[in-house]
Chain A
Amino acid sequence: MLVAGELAGQIRRRERSAREVVTEALDRVAGGDAAIRAFVRVCADAALAEAEALDRRIAAGEDPGPLAGVPVALKDNLCTKGLETTCGSRILEGWRPPYDATVVERLRSAGAITIGKANMDEFAMGSSTENSAAGPTRNPHDLSRVPGGSSGGSAAAVAAGFVPVALGSDTGGSIRQPAALCGVVGVKPTYGLVSRYGLVAFASSLDQIGPLTASVGDAALVLEVIGGHDPADSTSIDAPVPRLSDAVEAGVEGLRVGVCLELIDGVARDVEARVREAAEALSGAGAKVEDVSIPELRYGLSAYYLIAPAEASSNLARYDGVRYGLRVDAPDAAAMNKATRTAGFGAEVKRRIMLGTYALSAGYYDAYYAQAQRARTLVTRAFDRAYAQVDVLLGATSPTTAFPLGAKVDDPLAMYLSDVCTIPSNLAGHPAMSVPFGTGDDGLPVGVQVLAPALGEKELFRVGGVLESLAPPIALPALGALGSVERT
């Protein structure tokens, strides 16, 4: 498995060239992505040019940074200057942002090289990457299954070995759930740790950018690069990012771990078994493990499915056919807005816009939106009480392993239930990580979720590092079956 930190080390020491590494990544994509469709766009020429420039800088004695020459995939809701950014939507077809997201700038200044944009559910609304105008992405472990979502393209690109690092965004589990379903590491940082500037908004008070990587150490490395204060984001935390790479090796001796019963009750039996095994592994490594019950977490799903659509209904109003993106002509401005939005948005996006509009509309605001915001307080307070007893919580990331394509597309509520274990952390603004830990009865990867209180990333990575080292091995996706690695 590719490890970004090692790769960057080899390139910085001139044992390999960035051009060689990037070329190999592009070759793997060219060979394998026709079947997976992790990428909606590959920028081979720009990536190679950047790699060559980087090699020249290294030859001149410069150090391009901790991710020197590491090929990365960016979820297609991260703005990339001059490179089309569509959020999996028809309404943004052809839109080339005139600016880079803060995380994109930070990756570049750490030496990383963007090789393409990863597929996603339209505007990050979905749990399967089936809601994309570009068509679905498939799970590299089983092409008949979904990769999860909404960052399914990012998770699949890492799982397929195309790139060691991808960025995703997580509003209700959109990094962790696909990471679990694809057998990779996914981290949703504390709200405010990573700048949202340049992340196309879904639900502003919940959205957070984070890494999907092949290893826990890489996730730490990437978070150290992309995290930290950004004056362009008013909700950015004005404090330095802690040294997370050290935490990965620090062990869990003495750490208090709570197995959260609400995050394993009702999940598939094999998934629950893996969580219990992970807890035992941590106990064996010196952690104090106990069961913890937080009954209020079960209100998370309802609160989330009112708050997120409400914010989304407002965030997505700007796609009106006036300034950028799609326009469908009509005789007057309002009719043009309507025709454009009707043609440009997919069914799930429309569903959530209407749900959110309803939750905010006159007469319903208090019953739905305000009540959901109070439930959010309820969930957060309940977490606070639990964290008075334990340092981190453990649970399932996804209630099941990867499900077949099409299984839930006609039942929105069933699809929403995929996020039931991940949503509470978003509501509270807390960090959480999904770490691969064995497989289900179907042989597909299972992710164990580690949760921590706000700015508890260090504890998260201590647990993640131990779980990674003790996890039963997962068979790598049969990449050979996906096509030749020879460049065509």
Chain B
Amino acid sequence: MRTTLDYGIDLGTTNSAIARQDGSSTRLLQGPHGGVLLPSALYVPAEGTLRVGAAAHDAAQADPQNAAIEFKRLMGTEETRTFPASGRRLSPEEMSAEVLRELIGWAAREEEAPRAAVITIPAMFQLPQSEATRRAAQLAGIQHAPLLQEPIAAAIAHSGAGEVREGYWLVYDLGGGTFDVSLVRSRGGRLQVLDHDGDNHLGGRDFDRVVARRAADRVREEGRLGGFKRSDEALSGAFSRLKAEAERVRILLSKQDQAEFRVDQLAQVGGAWAGVSFPLDRGELESLIGSTVRRTTALCKRLLARNRLGAKELKGLVLVGGPTLTPCVPKLIQEELQLEARHAGDPMTMVATGAAIFASTQKLPANLRSARAGSVPAVELQLEFEPMTTDPEPLVVGRVDPARLPAGVAVTAVREGGGFTSAPARVDAQGRFALELALNPNSLNVFALELRSAGGEVLAAEPSRLTLLHGFSVAKPPLSQSVGVMLAGNAVSWYLRKGATLPARNTVTHATTIALRRGQSGEAVNIPLLQGESGQADRNKVIGILRIVADKIGRDLPAGTEVEVTLSIDESSQTTGRAYVPLLDQWFDDVVMFRMETKQATEVSKGLGAQKERLARLEQLAAELEGGDSAPADQRVQEVEALIEEGDRDSIDLADSMVRLMSEELDQTETVTRGRALEGRFQQLLAAVSELIAKEGDKADKAQVRALGDEFARAMQQGDMELAEAKVEDLRALYFRVAQRTPDFWIGLFNHLAGRMQELDLLSRARDALVRGSTAIKKQDYDILAAVCRELMAMLPEQEQVGSSIISHVK
């Protein structure tokens, strides 16, 4: 009877696998065809059963409309896939559930179908994606499915194989759709993931993408298929064929130096098929995928820099994931990182192997255990112990139902193979006992448990043995991204920071900013839950909203009411949020969990535009400040624009991810240069204001400038950047106030507005005002001119209107 999970599943983007731990050995389970890999593909025909795996993968090429691949990338989103032949519509969780069901079926061929298994997820998976994976497991009948980060699974497989006992190393996990890199330390058998990084939109399929893009460029050059756009629905099959061919050629190039990229039946033109073909060698492949590989190595470098480690201090880099078999990848990694990159075991099954090893340390819930064979009733022992430990003398504590035992029962543990018998541990009145064991170092230790009554009678116990592995243990996984709560004013209160060991919990007290009346239907105090790293709330992802709904409160809540919010994340990254309101003595745990947002091309484009502006500003600032930090390169801008142009879901998601990354990097650059930038801006403004005031200002203006100068200096000295920024804005506002007293200001503004009216084609609307303005200038009536300018500004589109604070309203 199994008492631990033992099954580990790697649910991959391209391929999946299942492994089982039996004692000290790990075995990959085989499918009906004898292979250990199951392509993560689905085919839904018009009639008959749904196909999963290789059959579906093959069918995807001929009938892509009714096939689905790489749906892991959509986990956590609202996107569904419709299969026109059958009319069925499936969510990413449902599709993943089919894959899991198939794998469970493989296990069921050997013994009872497991109802619990460890399932791996990328380390950078966000909480909605993890939740979706759990849902998929439930749908597949896996009732208990702890989630394990893929790099940890790989590290366990690598370390558990005795490869590395001491030192630091990187686990470079490049899957079909995701990339994770983890910095791992092994010390005295204790495996610890120190840090990780990665990208949920970067994987082997990006290699195929760039090769397919090259092929598409060739097609466009040849011109037979016109613009040949990916967003053209009629050509979706063509692009799938290109991608499939790209994958084939890429795999072929891992065995030979040259290959031919060839698709004869790409798309139909005037009733005839048009195709594409061209030669491709390893060198060209390397140049095509080089930038993608460099994106991964950049993340590796970032990880190492963050932990102040250099390549020399690492034992090596372990390659995991099928795409790492692409020939030039290890070479490129070695060139970039100056680190030997090697495959320690089969990169395509390492994750499943490690998951199974880990599963063997996880207790199987009692309700999921198989019934015990045999007719002799046994005393059931609830044992607590660490199944994997580096402690040579661990403790085992157990509980029994005292009602079922005679008095004076004692428990003894005897190590199989001899050499140790524990002191008898008496069972106390509550049925508890504690055994101190001694383990053989670096090996699996099996102990037989003996229950004896006071009279020496041996009682049957279940379980009758316990197994402990000495010499290897795994630290709890770290949280991959910080989790917190959005506060009013776009601020963030971080509850659990990236790197915090899971499980983790934190409680923070806040105060509400709005009043809530009892029974006010539809109203609630919303507490947005965030995941990310930015100090600005809107730069992070909202993963859910914890709500205190008015329908459920016992009395009115005024603004400023105290609320204690507790966020908990378990080892599987399952997040729960609860709020306690002391005033009501009531708990609230109504959390609306969000899916991953999927943006449209226009939104991503807008986001890119905003980042380009910031980039330009920072570049200008860097040029102005001597030795200022330079802004990040804008090569990615072109890449993002190209992805937006491609227009398919994947490209848009990738573009969005890159824009977000750019935004985070620009945030960091702005933070670093903030102080100097502020100082620079203030001095520039001061010079302009002083010059203006010398001509047009009065004593009061000069007094204000002096006061602002003192306050700015004080704020900088105190390190209060927000206050310093406010003083810069105050100085700017003063400049405009003084300028408004000069006729030149209004004349200049009027001329500018007249120009804008022309550009925006608003001349007919503005004609009357423009005439009055011109007359006012001639008459030197600047009051009228000011009124005209205000009128004209009100006609501008909203985002162009100058803030009212600049314009005086005294009349």
A binds B: no
Chain A residues packing against B (C-beta within 8 Å): none
Instruction: State the B residues within 8 Å of A (CB).
Output: none
